[in-house]
Amino acid sequence: MTVKPKILIIEDEPNIASFMSTILSANDYAVLRAANGADGLMMASSHCPEVILLDLGLPDMDGKEIIRNIRQWSQMPIIVVSARTQEYDKVEALDLGADDYVTKPFGTSELLARVRTALRHARTSSLDGTMAQTGKFTAGPLVVDFDKRHVYVDGRDAKLTQNEFRIVALLAKHAGRVLTYDMLLKAVWGPNGSSDNQILRVNMANIRRKIEENPGKPQFIFTEMGVGYRMVEGD
């Protein structure tokens, strides 16, 4: 008998909670449910779920308080379930330590993909098995060589600048997950560097020109509107 991964849903809207619960149960996850923040925190600490799906607008507390609380004692993956009206909250939640988000209304495949990515990242460190062994991230024709600090497309060196490489390497190490503008800016330009997204957009435009066949329709690095960027899952 296999042990099913435990997913805790903290969501006060019964319809959405049931929808997620049904999908996850049907895909062999063990589902736990909490309809408010206090119960959610209690269940998170007593059941230690593999993944938490967290609504930000809860009746008794702001979902961000839950992220702050949990991050004091655990790195368990937290996927924020947000409404379109919570764009700003979503970014703040990611910066507080949430791993990813889905925006309501979302589909079955999107929810399952986010959960799978979160589970995989929880099992492996930032450099996963293959990446640790080969020192490379590969997605189709794209190869990020962490040791040589070069990016290749179809075997051709994309000739990225130092900062462009650092952006691509960071996204590749977290492939499948969204990284916020703030995370990328801090990681590449330092905590006292620019907080102006424009510098990032300029770098991203150059990166895309160098690695994407059609920079207007990227196949490797996707824009998450108003949030940040996401690298495609590796092979």
Q: Which residues bind Ca ion (CB under 5 A)?
A: 12, 55, 57
Task: Closer to Ca ion by CB, 46 or 85: give it.
Answer: 85
Placement of tokens 């495609």 in the chain: 232
Q: What sign has the CA pseudo-torsion 20, 25, 30, 33?
A: positive
Residue 79 CB, nearest distance to Ca ion (Å)? 15
Task: Closer to Ca ion by CB, 56 or 184: give it.
Answer: 56
Task: Closer to Ca ion by CB, 57 or 215: give it.
Answer: 57
Asked if 118 and 79 touch (Cβ cutoff 8 Å), the reply is yes
Strands 51-55 and 6-10: parallel
Q: Which residues contact 168 (CB under 8 A, 6 or more apart)?
A: 144, 151, 160, 207, 211, 221, 231
Task: Closer to Ca ion by CB, 61 or 199: give it.
Answer: 61
CA distance linking residue 210 with residue 212, whole number of Å: 6
Residue 170 CB, nearest distance to Ca ion (Å)? 32
Q: Which residues contact 49 (CB under 8 A, 6 or more apart)?
A: 6, 7, 8, 32, 43, 76
Q: Using CB atoms, what's the residue nearest to Ca ion?
A: 57
Task: Closer to Ca ion by CB, 104 or 186: give it.
Answer: 104
Asked if 101 and 178 touch (Cβ cutoff 8 Å), the reply is yes
Residue 55 CB, nearest distance to Ca ion (Å)? 4
Residue 98 CB, nearest distance to Ca ion (Å)? 16
Residue 10 CB, nearest distance to Ca ion (Å)? 10
